[in-house]
Structure 1
Amino acid sequence: MEIRWLLIGVIAAVASIGFMNKWHYPSLPIESVTPREAIQKMNASELDLVEISRKGDEIWYIMELTKSGMEGIDDKIIAFLDGKGWSFTEKEGSGLFFEKDDERLIVSTEMWTKHYVLVRIPSQI
């Protein structure tokens, strides 16, 4: 009888530690950063769009979803790239299309959790 309660206590402790350490977040589509590190970078920054990984020809960012939803996320991405000289042309699904000179840029967004959105931007920005 005592062993059963000890086992229940150990399982509860491990579950609590895992939850506090963000083990409950889904995996990321990038290998260079853990979910916990991505959340820490987001929480440590005052920026809306926080870089979490730069690999090859793409840069991954994380954004926190607010009351304005995906429309607010899109607006912040558009403003960010407008500041870099890219003009927004259209949105199709989760892709935002931009143009600058004769170049075209496609930015994709992905709901990672109900609170966070991942943004993939080609490094040509």
Structure 2
Amino acid sequence: MKKLAMIFCVLIAIFAAVVYVNKLYYPPLPVEGLSAKEAIDSLNDSDSKLTQIEDDGEFLWYLTRVDDKGIESADDKVKQLVAAKGWSFKEKDGSGLFFEKDGERLIATTQMWTGEYVLIQVMKF
């Protein structure tokens, strides 16, 4: 009986390690073919505070880490990113950030993915 309990404890420990290492405790990403671990590793390996994790043809997806300012820090990073492409920030409505350039409109949305990370969806420039 003790042997069975020991085997059970070892299996639980192995399972917990696999879940932790692969970040399986994070919610799923809204992009296909990318795991939470890959997305977080991409951000951690980047010199930038904002990293592109997907280009699905219609939208660009970015991931960033929040700081003391919370979602506002992500908004500021999006504004800098889009302004670098020549777009002017016009307004924020809910989680949407609205930009204009030459009479066209661009929308970027932010979404708390976890308590530490924010997903950003931007219409292709």
- Asked if Structure 1 and Structure 2 have the same fold, meaning a TM-score greater than 0.5 normalized by the shorter chain, the answer is yes
How far did 1:21 drift? 2.0
- Matches of 2:50 and 2:20, distance apart in 1: 25
- Deviation at residue 103 of structure 1 after TM alignment: 0.3
Residues 1:115 and 2:116 aligned together: yes
Q: Percent identity?
A: 43
Question: For residue 57 of structure 1, what is the aligned residue in structure 2?
Answer: 58
Partner-residue secondary structure (3-state), 1:5: helix
Task: Give the number of equivalent residue pairs.
Answer: 124
Q: Is the 8 A contact 1:96 1:106 kept in 2?
A: yes
- Distance in 1 between the 2:76 and 2:22 partners? 31
Distance (whole Å) between structure 2 residues aligned to residue 105 and residue 32 of structure 1:
26
How many angstroms apart in 1 are the aligned matches of 2:82 and 2:75?
A: 11
Match of 2:45 in 1: 44
The whole-number CA distance in structure 2 between the counterparts of 1:100 and 1:61 is 21
TM-score, scaled to structure 2: 0.94
Structure 2 unaligned residues grouped into runs of 5+ = none
TM superposition outliers: structure 1 runs of 4+ over 3 Å: none
Mean Cα deviation higher: 106-115 or 6-15: 6-15
